[in-house]
Each structure stands twice: as structure tokens, then as C-alpha cells.
């Protein structure tokens, strides 16, 4: 039954947004949850942050660290201090100067604010030392190899200290950063508009006056807007729609292998919602896992273009735990495990976003698991609302995306460590935390490979998460757009982009 599932788009009304001058209109699959890097936990937030918020470091298309607000950096011989040289003549959107004091403020805010979701990422930083106006030193309580990866992400996004002090949590709706575009307006579920910041440090490389992000969860409607000229970029083009983009002479297609992946998060330890057969039983989680055919999901939904996977690191990459290969579907064993649990038919509620692709994956999971004895109820929820449920722990199972990071710790510990910032189901194993701590404390790749393999031997059999597949990113753009460079992190960089008239 599940092999024949197909999704038919019913939406026919285009989301039309008139262009204003030289405007780049980007179709997103969802609205962001927040515009404050300190409070963010959503990939869509990260996509939007690329317009207003520069970071201390960035990643290039090969996932190498490159300068942004910091021009250079160096570790001390004992790896207990990281010194950063800062870019001169940088100002925030409110005219306040960017300097070492601003970096100190941002790091300390991320570490201490009640609303911050960056605390675990920056926990090893014990002091931020202003060496001079353009030099800052981060002193650590212990070696912490993933720190550069954090500074190339939301923990490295600098906001104006003046604005942060004045706005507090309200910065979530009015970002004041030091990036190429400054905030104009946000109409939730409709549009998010930024305009070029004329005092941007690299203003000569920014050629488009305005950027509008337009949330459209329906893949077909996003693509229709791109084809009609209402969007200049449509992100996350469905693999089944790639031929349409390729055959349209007005469009161009970009793609990149992704560090991101899709995962089923199971609430095993947070509140009353964790007290379910699936949340309480490792045996039932194994049965659910064995009911899934990852390769079939890839073929049916993604035309075989994605990478079936069972781990945060993709098969064939450096940190993939080779002793735990992608499991084959074993329906007989899955049924036997359900029977051993003595639960009869097992009810499961699976939350998915309004993204039609997630809906298709959810339907296939529902059908596959149903054959093993699970009665899966699908709950389709708008992304921001879904995020609020999982953050509150009011969920049993949810289909989530992690956009991936260059450092393995930011792909693994964020889910599996007791204090992982997206460990919403509160899975916790102190022995695992010890192994992950050791892996963070060395920069020796061979040692880290061994330690992350040891970690996998703990959290993979426990199955608080069922990793499904690694992604490829696909963007459709108008041929009037030039300078687009696809990145494995799925984030659009605006430097060098131009729109022909």
C-alpha cells in the first residue's frame, strides 16, 4: 500500500507579492519562529538571519571556516584560549560600533539570558577578555573543539548591545545586527522584509536593494510563484519537481549535497507526554525502527535523490559509525517485538509540519509502521506551532529537520547529550555525556572518530531518535539572478547576487 502513496497538490491560488524596486523575493517553506539569534531553534530562522546578521566566522561552499566579522583567529598552545581579531569600521544597523566590547556582550548574553538557547553551545567559555578594541580572547574551562562551528552559526551572530539592552526579548521581532540588510517589517505568515544597509562593511558586494522572505508551505505553490515571476528564488524544490525547473527556460536549478538530515524525535523523558508505550519502551522503539524501509521512502518521495541514513553523520563520511549500518526493513522482527511488549496494537501520534513533503513521508511511515502493529495518527501542524509543542514537551513523536553543521558534535550532542539544546524529549545517559565530553575535548580527528563511534554504541540502540535520511538542497531561481552559490548548509549568501533588469 505504502509504495503507491502519491500526493496531489490541491492549492491553486498563487501567493502574489508585488516587487518594490530592486527586490529579491524568496519563497520559504515556513515563517521563522524568532528573529533573535539567541532565542532561535529553527532552520528557517537561520535562513532569514543570513540577511540581517553577520557572524564572527562563516563557512564557504566546502564547509571551511572563513572570515566574516572576525578576520583571523588562533588557538593557544594548550587549546584553552581562542583569540579573534575583529574587522575594523563595522557598525550595527542602529549606528553603534562593532568591537571587542560588543563581542563580549553578545557571548555573555548568549551564556546568561533566561531566554537564550545558546547556553550549552558556549558552556566551556569561562571568560571573555577584551584585549584591545579589535581583539577579543575567549578563555575556556576545558578544550572545546566545536567552538569554531558555534561561532560560524547563531552563537557567532552579533546583535547591537544597545538594542539588546533596550529591547530584551522583544529583539525577537526587531533584529538589530551588523549584516548586509536591515529590518523593515515582519507580517507573520505573509512577509518579512529587509532593505540594504548602506553602512555595511562589505556594501560594494551587495547589489540588490531589498529582500523579501515569503512563507509558502506548499511546494507546488512556491514553484508556481517562481514560474510566474512572483518569486526570484524558491528554496527546497521538491525532488519530484526538478524536471519542471530544468525544462523551464526562464529558470535555473542549483543543488548541493547537504549536511542536514530528517529525524524522528521521540519524547522519552519530558513530562506526561513521555508516558506512552513508545516513549517508555526501547523494545517498541526498535520495532518501530525496523518497520521502516528508508530506501523505499527515498525512492517514493525523493526519486532516489536523498541518502538513506540512520545516524546524524551521513554514510561514508568521516564520523559515520560503521558498526551501525543503515538497517534493512525487518517486518517479521518488528511484529515479534511488538508482540513481546504485550501491547497489542500500539497507538502513536506523529506530528509533522505543513510542508507537503513531510506529509508524504508521514503517510508512508504511518503505512509501514501500521504493518508492524502501530496505529500512527498524523497531526499536521504549522512549523512554528510544532516547534512550540516540542519545546514544551507536549508531543510523542515529531518529524524534524536538522540543517547540519561542519563539526560532528553539533550534529550529535545537540540531540543526545543530557543538556543538548534540541534534546526536547530529554533523553539522558550520563555515560554518553562522558564520551561526548571527551570527543569535544580533543582536536585529534582519529581520537574523535573513535569517541563518536563509542557514543553511537550508546544512543543508537536506545533509539530516542530515528534518523531517516540526509538531504540534498535544491533551489530554483529566475535566470535573471546571477552570483548564486549553493552551500551544503542550505543558507543563501547575498554577497555577489545580482538581478538583471
pLDDT of 315 reads 86
Backbone angles phi, psi at 432, to 5 degrees: -65, -40
- 151-155, 224-228, 402-406, range with the lowest pLDDT: 402-406
Residue 13 is assigned to a structural domain of this protein: no
- Whether residues 28 and 100 fall in one domain: no
12: left (phi over 0), alpha (psi -120 to 50) or beta: alpha
| Residue that terminates a domain, selected from 132, 160, 188 | 160
Do 380 and 273 share a structural domain?
Answer: yes
Is residue 17 over pLDDT 60? no
**What pLDDT is recorded for position 277?**
96
Is pLDDT above 60 for 14?
Answer: no
Does the pLDDT at position 8 exceed 80? Answer: no
Q: Is the pLDDT assigned to residue 193 strictly greater than 90? A: yes
- Whether 119 and 45 map to the same domain: the answer is no
Residues counted in the chain:
501
Domain shared by 153 and 215, yes or no: no
Residues 212 and 231 in one domain: yes
Question: Is 69 part of a structural domain of the chain?
Answer: yes
**Rounded distance between C-alpha atoms, residue 144 and residue 472, angstroms:** 29
pLDDT of amino acid 421: 81
State whether 36 and 171 are in the same domain: yes
- Write the pLDDT tens digit of every residue in 34-73: 999 999 988 899 999 999 999 999 999 988 999 999 999 9
Query: What is the domain range of residue 62?
Result: 58-160
C-alpha–C-alpha distance, residues 118 and 37, integer Å = 9
Q: What is the CATH number of the domain that holds 489?
A: 3.40.190.10
Residue 14 lies in a domain: no
Chosen domain end from 160, 194, 210: 160
Q: Is residue 280 included in any domain, yes or no? A: yes
pLDDT band at 21 (very low <50, low <70, confident <90, very high): low
The answer on 131 and 64 residing in a single domain is: yes
Compute the chain's Rg from CA coordinates. Answer: 23
How many domains is the chain partitioned into structurally?
Answer: 3
Q: Which of the listed residues 160, 179, 194 is the one where a domain comes to its end?
A: 160
pLDDT in tens, 372-385: 999 999 999 998 89
Mean pLDDT of 60-88: 95
Rounded-to-integer distance, Cα 222 and Cα 213, Å: 12
CATH number, position 110: 3.90.76.10
Give the other-Cβ count within 10 Å of 333's Cβ: 15
Question: pLDDT band at residue 19, thresholds of 50, 70 and 90?
Answer: very low
Whether residue 65 is found in the same domain as residue 152 = yes
The mean pLDDT of 426-438, rounded to a whole number, is 97
Residues 183 and 47 in one domain: yes
Query: DSSP secondary-structure letter at 270?
Result: S
Burial of 467 (0-12, 13-18, 19+ CB in 10 A): buried
Residues 423 and 286 in one domain: yes
The predicted structure's pLDDT at residue 16: 46
How far is 38 from 352, CA to CA, in rounded Å?
Answer: 25
Residues 157, 105: contact at Cβ < 8 Å?
no
Examine the domain organization and report whether 139 and 263 are in the same domain.
no
What 3-state DSSP class applies to 186? Answer: strand
- Nearest CA to 366 out of 333, 399, 320, 415 is that of 399
User: Is residue 393 pLDDT above 70, yes or no?
Assistant: yes
pLDDT, averaged across the chain: 93
Q: Are residues 448 and 486 in the same domain?
A: no
Task: Using pLDDT thresholds of 50, 70 and 90, give the confidence band for residue 15.
Answer: very low
Q: Per-residue pLDDT tens for 106-121? A: 999 999 999 999 998 9
- Phi and psi for 383 in degrees, rounded to 5? -55, -45
pLDDT at 384: 84
Residue 11 falls inside a structural domain: no
pLDDT of residue 18: 44
Q: Using one digit for the tens of pLDDT, what is the confidence trace for 328-366? A: 999 999 999 999 998 789 999 999 999 888 999 999 999
Angle at 54 between CA 197 and CA 108, to 5 degrees: 120
Share of the chain above pLDDT 90, in %: 83
Q: Does the pLDDT of residue 320 top 50, yes or no?
A: yes
Alpha helices in 271-382 (DSSP H): 277-280, 282-290, 294-302, 331-341, 356-372
How far apart (Å, rounded) are the C-alpha atoms in residues 372 and 2? 13
Model pTM score: 0.79
10 in a domain, yes or no?
Answer: no
Spatial neighbors of 77 by CB under 8 A, at least 6 apart, are none
Q: How far apart are CA 72 and CA 83, in angstroms?
A: 8
Amino acid at each position: 500500500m505504502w509504495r503507491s502513496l502519491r500526493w496531489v497538490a490541491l492549492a491553486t491560488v498563487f501567493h502574489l507579492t508585488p516587487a518594490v524596486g530592486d527586490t529579491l523575493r524568496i519563497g520559504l517553506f515556513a515563517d521563522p519562529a524568532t528573529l533573535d539569534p539567541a532565542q532561535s531553534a529553527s532552520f528557517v530562522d537561520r535562513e532569514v538571519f543570513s540577511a540581517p546578521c553577520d557572524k564572527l566566522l562563516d563557512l564557504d561552499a566546502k564547509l571551511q571556516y572563513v572570515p566574516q566579522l572576525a578576520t583571523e583567529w588562533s588557538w593557544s598552545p594548550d587549546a584553552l584560549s581562542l583569540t579573534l581579531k575583529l574587522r575594523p569600521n563595522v557598525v550595527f544597523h542602529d549606528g553603534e560600533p562593532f568591537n571587542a566590547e560588543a563581542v563580549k556582550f553578545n557571548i555573555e548574553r548568549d551564556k546568561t539570558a533566561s531566554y537564550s538557547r545558546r547556553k550549552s553551545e558556549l558552556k566551556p567559555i569561562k571568560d571573555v577578555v577584551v584585549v584591545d578594541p579589535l581583539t577579543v580572547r575567549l578563555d575556556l574551562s576545558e578544550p572545546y573543539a566545536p567552538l569554531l562551528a558555534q561561532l560560524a552559526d547563531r552563537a557567532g551572530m552579533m546583535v547591537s548591545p544597545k538594542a539588546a539592552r533596550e529591547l530584551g526579548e522583544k529583539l525577537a521581532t526587531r533584529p538589530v545586527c551588523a549584516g548586509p540588510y536591515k529590518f523593515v517589517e515582519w507580517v507573520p505568515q505573509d512577509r518579512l522584509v529587509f532593505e540594504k544597509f548602506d553602512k555595511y562593511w562589505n556594501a560594494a558586494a551587495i547589489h540588490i536593494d531589498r529582500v523579501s522572505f515569503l512563507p509558502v508551505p506548499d511546494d507546488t505553490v512556491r514553484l508556481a510563484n517562481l514560474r510566474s515571476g512572483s518569486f526570484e528564488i524558491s528554496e527546497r524544490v521538491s525532488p519530484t519537481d526538478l524536471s519542471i525547473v530544468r525544462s523551464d527556460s526562464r529558470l535555473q536549478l542549483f543543488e548541493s549535497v547537504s549536511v542536514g538530515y530528517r529525524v524522528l524525535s521521540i519524547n522519552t523523558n519530558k513530562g506526561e507526554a513521555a508516558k506512552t508505550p513508545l516513549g517508555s519502551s526501547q523494545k517498541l522503539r526498535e520495532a518501530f525502527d525496523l518497520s521502516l524501509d528508508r530506501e523505499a521512502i527515498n525512492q517514493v518521495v525523493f526519486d532516489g535523490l536523498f541518502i538513506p541514513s540512520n545516524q546524524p553523520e551521513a554514510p561514508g563520511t568521516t564520523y559515520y559509525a560503521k558498526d551501525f549500518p543503515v538497517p534493512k526493513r525487518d517486518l517479521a522482527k518488528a511484529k515479534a517485538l511488538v508482540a513481546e511488549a504485550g501491547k497489542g496494537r500500539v497507538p502513536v501520534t506523529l506530528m509533522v509540519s505543513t510542508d507537503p513533503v513531510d506529509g508524504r513521508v508521514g503517510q508512508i511511515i504511518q503505512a509501514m509502521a501500521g504493518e508492524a502493529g502501530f496505529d500512527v495518527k498524523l497531526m499536521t501542524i504549522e512549523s512554528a506551532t510544532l516547534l512550540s509543542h516540542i519545546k514544551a514537551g507536549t508531543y510523542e513523536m515529531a518529524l524534524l529537520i536538522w540543517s547540519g553543521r561542519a563539526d560532528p558534535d553539533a550534529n550529535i550532542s545537540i540531540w543526545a547529550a543530557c543538556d543538548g539544546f534540541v534534546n526536547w524529549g530529554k533523553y539522558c545517559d550520563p555515560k554518553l555525556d562522558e564520551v561526548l565530553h571527551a570527543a569535544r575535548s580533543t582536536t585529534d580527528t582519529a581520537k574523535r572518530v573513535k569517541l563518536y563511534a563509542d557514543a553511537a554504541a550508546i544512543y543508537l540502540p536506545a533509539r530516542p531518535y530515528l534518523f531517516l535520511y540526509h538531504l540534498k538542497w535544491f533551489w530554483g531561481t529566475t535566470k535573471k539572478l546571477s552570483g548564486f552559490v549553493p552551500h551544503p548548509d542550505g543558507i543563501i549568501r547575498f554577497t555577489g547576487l545580482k538581478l538583471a533588469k
